[in-house]
Amino acid sequence: MDSYVEVKNLNGTSGRVPNGATTWKEFWENETGRKFGMCSCKDCTSRAEVGAHVQKSDSTDHKWYIVPLCKADNNKASWEHFEVKAADLVPVNE
């Protein structure tokens, strides 16, 4: 059974280029050794299309993470909280 964590989007971050990769999707795949599959958002049945920047919402952890999301979930407002698979979170050294 998957474990989920509540997050929020970090909007306006797509222009940043990850170290050692050309896209955030490639960065996530390199870090995890896995290929994108389904969107990580709980109850979403769409395919993941982007490596989205998120931050845990109920924590003092201010790290940024990359998680595979569909475009609809990636476009959620930064104040909108949603759950993603905890195992899909990859920390970004910002």
pLDDT digits (tens, 9 = 90+) for 74-90: 999 888 999 999 999 99
Q: What is the pLDDT of residue 94?
A: 56
Nearest residue to 84 via CA among 14, 12, 50: 50
What predicted TM-score, i.e. pTM, was given to this entire model? 0.90
CA distances from 12 to 5, 30, 74 (A): 22, 23, 11
All residue ranges of the chain with pLDDT < 50 are: none
Q: Provide the sign of the torsion angle of the four alpha carbons 6, 55, 37, 12, taken in this order.
A: positive
- Indicate the number of domains in the chain: 1
Range of the domain at 75: 4-92
Q: What is the pLDDT of residue 93?
A: 72
Neighbours of 67 (CB within 10 A): 27
Q: What is the pLDDT of residue 62?
A: 85
Q: What is the pLDDT of residue 11?
A: 79
Q: Do 91 and 63 contact (CB within 8 A), yes or no?
A: yes
Q: What is the pLDDT of residue 19?
A: 78
Element (H, E) at 86: none
